């Protein structure tokens, strides 16, 4: 769609959102009519966001301000200060949402909420299990490195490393190895990738997702059930159950929570960021040479990577953080308003109701010119102390896998640059239109092989 036509459309639908605030105040946010009105707004704007999410955000931000309505009459916060403040609210109340996406087809999740959407004791218990399940990368760098090296060796036998195809496949195998000590078959890996790609289907009404689209969702749901059963045969399973019982969590809750952690946060998020880091290192020759120089200084490449080396790889660490700022794998955070109130949107004051979704746009916040100098440029010399990727720091909802995510990427890059080489690479391009993970999916390292 032409940008002028898109601008008019996005601003016109926001005018409707302003009117909707009055209607919801009159009819009730969770009344049958209120739910229908919000659902209609959700799908109307959702289809626009699916095809042009970045343009949607910046049109509203530039024309309305850093606070505006979006999708199901959620209040979107778009600047760094507001998103940081939103993240640090404690306690937070959440619903079954994946960022901006509402999970409206519980059957896709086997009728279990996302761990992101749990609250209270259930959320505390799930986090305790995650903290047990996610290994300390500084203590397990050798295991992680050897496993990554085997995957890169596999790619070298094919002569190519494809960002969009290979990295998610690698990541889902790595995480199942680390969390459950199980190996996935090629069929299981393919099915897990299909599950992740099909997540937008969970945002459709349940009868559509489960029945009308059963030819698509049926095999995916069957795969989830299959892995849930496999998890319970893991040598680590008894430990997770023991922790879960302290919080009155049953086996199904534990297994489903770990499935979501591995597939959504782990595989989708970490593989996307890893792809972006590789993309940055491809297009920035001097930076790549500096990173290689740092790696060569710290590691001979013949012994397992020691934990101290991961701490000392400071340039590579900054490259990962700056890449996460520019291309955050998670672009939105979501919570619920615990009481009704009034919000200023543009020049108007609008009422909002208890239960209204409060969204934070990490992507626009990370590029806020009031927080970062030349925010659209890449620089490793920034202050990353309040980086909002991984849901920020110092609060109850901070990402429990942040350290593992960063160090997995670090180990992958160390092995990639130390032990492997490629003859050429295809165009490095980030897709800012489709509402998928922001990563150069089509990037391919050709002539990929182990160094002599």
What are phi and psi for residue 21, nearest 5 degrees? -60, -40
Confidence of residue 302 (pLDDT cuts 50, 70, 90): confident
Do strands 74-77 and 357-361 pair parallel, antiparallel, or not at all (unpaired)? parallel
> What local confidence, expressed as pLDDT, does residue 265 receive?
86
Mean pLDDT on 312-331: 96
Mean pLDDT on 399-415: 96
DSSP annotation of 305: P
> What local confidence, expressed as pLDDT, does residue 286 receive?
97
> What local confidence, expressed as pLDDT, does residue 397 receive?
87
Mean pLDDT on 235-256: 97
Mean pLDDT on 197-220: 93
Radius of gyration for the alpha carbons in the chain, expressed in angstroms and rounded: 22
Does the pLDDT at position 126 exceed 90? Answer: yes
> What local confidence, expressed as pLDDT, does residue 190 receive?
97
Own/partner pairs for 299-302, CB < 8 Å, 24+ apart? 299/414, 299/418, 301/418, 301/419
Mean pLDDT on 177-205: 95
Query: Which of 387, 391, 405, 384 shows the shortest CA–CA distance to 333?
Result: 391
Mean pLDDT on 118-139: 95
Omega of the bond prior to 91 within 30 degrees of 0, cis? yes
> Whole-angstrom Cα distance, residue 72 to residue 333?
15
> Whole-angstrom Cα distance, residue 295 to residue 278?
15
Mean pLDDT on 243-254: 97
Q: Which of 189-193, 294-298, 380-384, 393-397 has the lowest mean pLDDT?
A: 393-397
Query: Which of 281, 319, 293 shows the shortest CA–CA distance to 445?
Result: 281
> What local confidence, expressed as pLDDT, does residue 161 receive?
98
> What local confidence, expressed as pLDDT, does residue 317 receive?
98
Domains of the chain in start order, with CATH, are: 3-450 (1.10.630.10)
Q: Token pair of 397, please? A: 């909802």
> Whole-angstrom Cα distance, residue 76 to residue 436?
19
Q: What percent of the chain has pLDDT over 70?
A: 100
pTM for the full predicted model: 0.95
Name residue, tokens 């279990």.
Answer: 112
Does the pLDDT at position 437 exceed 80? Answer: no
- 31-50: per-residue pLDDT in tens? 999 999 999 999 999 989 98
- 42-79: per-residue pLDDT in tens? 999 998 998 899 999 999 999 999 999 999 999 999 99
Q: Token pair of 108, please? A: 């896709």
């Amino acid at each position: 769609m032409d940008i002028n036509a898109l601008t008019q459309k996005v601003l016109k639908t926001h005018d409707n959102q302003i009117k909707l605030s009055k209607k919801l105040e009159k009819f009730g946010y969770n009344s049958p009519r209120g739910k229908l009105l919000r659902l209609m707004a959700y799908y109307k704007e959702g289809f626009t966001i699916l095809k042009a999410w970045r343009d949607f955000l910046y049109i509203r931000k530039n024309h309305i301000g850093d606070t505006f309505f979006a999708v199901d009459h959620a209040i979107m916060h778009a600047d760094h200060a507001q998103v940081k403040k939103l993240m640090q609210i404690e306690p937070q109340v959440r619903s079954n949402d994946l960022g901006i996406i509402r999970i409206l087809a519980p059957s896709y999740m086997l009728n279990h909420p996302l761990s992101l959407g749990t609250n209270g004791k259930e959320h505390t218990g799930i986090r305790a299990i995650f903290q047990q399940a996610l290994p300390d990368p500084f203590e397990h760098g050798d295991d992680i490195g050897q496993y990554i090296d085997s995957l890169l060796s596999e790619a070298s036998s094919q002569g190519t490393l494809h960002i969009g195809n290979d990295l998610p496949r690698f990541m889902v195998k790595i995480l199942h190895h680390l969390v459950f000590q199980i190996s996935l078959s090629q069929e299981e890996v393919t099915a897990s990738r299909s599950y992740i790609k099909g997540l937008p289907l969970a945002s459709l009404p349940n009868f559509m997702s489960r029945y009308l689209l059963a030819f698509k969702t049926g095999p995916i749901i069957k795969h989830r059930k299959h892995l849930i059963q496999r998890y319970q045969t893991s040598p680590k399973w008894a430990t997770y159950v023991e922790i879960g019982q302290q919080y009155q969590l049953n086996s199904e809750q534990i297994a489903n929570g770990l499935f979501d952690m591995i597939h959504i946060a782990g595989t989708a998020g970490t593989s996307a960021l890893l792809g972006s880091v590789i993309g940055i290192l491809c297009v920035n020759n001097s930076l790549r040479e500096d990173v290689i120089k740092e790696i060569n200084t710290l590691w001979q490449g013949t012994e397992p990577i020691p934990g101290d080396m991961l701490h000392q790889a400071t340039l590579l660490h900054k490259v990962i953080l700056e890449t996460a700022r520019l291309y955050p794998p998670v672009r939105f955070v979501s919570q619920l308003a615990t009481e009704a109130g009034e919000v200023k949107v543009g020049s108007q004051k609008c009422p909002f109701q208890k239960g209204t979704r409060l969204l934070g746009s990490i992507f626009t916040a990370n590029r806020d010119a009031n927080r970062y100098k030349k925010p659209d440029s890449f620089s490793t010399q920034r202050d990353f102390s309040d980086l909002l990727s991984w849901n920020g720091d110092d609060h109850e909802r901070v990402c429990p896998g942040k350290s593992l995510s960063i160090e997995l990427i670090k180990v992958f890059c160390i092995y990639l640059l130390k032990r492997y080489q490629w003859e050429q690479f295809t165009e490095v391009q980030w897709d800012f239109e489709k509402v998928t993970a922001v990563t150069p999916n089509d990037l391919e390292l050709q002539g990929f092989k182990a160094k002599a």
